[in-house]
Amino acid sequence: TLLQLYRLQAEVCGYRQCLVPLPDGLLLAAGRLGDLLRSCGLRTQLSSRNTRQLIVREYYDSSRAIAELHMPQTPIAQAVADFHAWHQKQQSHG
């Protein structure tokens, strides 16, 4: 889940993160509020598009890619750590 991913990300990258699960209806209302703030010229990442994505329950299975393409396996914690290191490097160069 996204909650599990965000918790893992905070643990692997060594930062504190406050995660508060909210009911879907409240998230959607917050997204509409973000849309309203944007229409008033205020900059925010909160939008109905973002909040709708948060409530989608998506799950993926890589077994076909592993079987047919021989895709290598990397533990998710290592992938998160690698991305974090890459992202930090990009931030320092730009």
Q: What is the pLDDT of residues 32-73, one digit of tens each?
A: 999 999 999 999 999 999 999 988 888 888 899 999 999 988
**Are 2 and 17 within 8 A, CB to CB?**
no
Give the model's confidence band at 21: pLDDT under 50 very low, under 70 low, under 90 confident, else very high: confident
Alpha-carbon distance values, 29 to 36, 40, 74 (Å): 11, 17, 37
pLDDT at residue 2, as a whole number: 79
Beta carbons within 10 angstroms of residue 34's beta carbon: 19
Q: What are 48's two structure tokens?
A: 């109905």
pLDDT at residue 94, as a whole number: 64
∠15-23-37 over CA atoms, to 5°?
A: 75
Q: What is the pTM of this model?
A: 0.62
> Is pLDDT above 90 for 4?
no
Higher pLDDT, 93 or 37: 37
Helix (H, G, I), strand (E, B) or coil at 18: coil
CA distance 52 to 56: 7
Task: Give 82's contacts (C-beta < 8 A, 6+ positions apart).
Answer: 74
